[in-house]
Amino acid sequence: MCYLGTDGLPDQNDQKRKRLGEAALLYLMQQYHTYPPDKQAQAIISLLEHHAADTLQRDDILWLGWRC
């Protein structure tokens, strides 16, 4: 899989203003890279919803993935 995205996803804050971060996103990508794209998308959405619960989105979020 190849991924391309804006900084909005790793920069999203939680309630304590802690960023999601590149490490959490990289870990998720390593765990799900063999899954179908729709399952990967759901995992990313779940991670973001869990991390950013009850906070406002602070930046645009664009994330693309495709098989190479």
pLDDT of residue 67: 87
Q: pLDDT tens-digit profile of 2-22?
A: 999 999 999 999 999 999 999
Q: pLDDT tens-digit profile of 35-67?
A: 999 999 999 999 999 999 999 998 999 999 998
pLDDT of residue 14: 95
Listed in order, strand segments (DSSP E) in the chain are 2-5, 63-66
Predicted model pTM: 0.85
DSSP class of 35: S
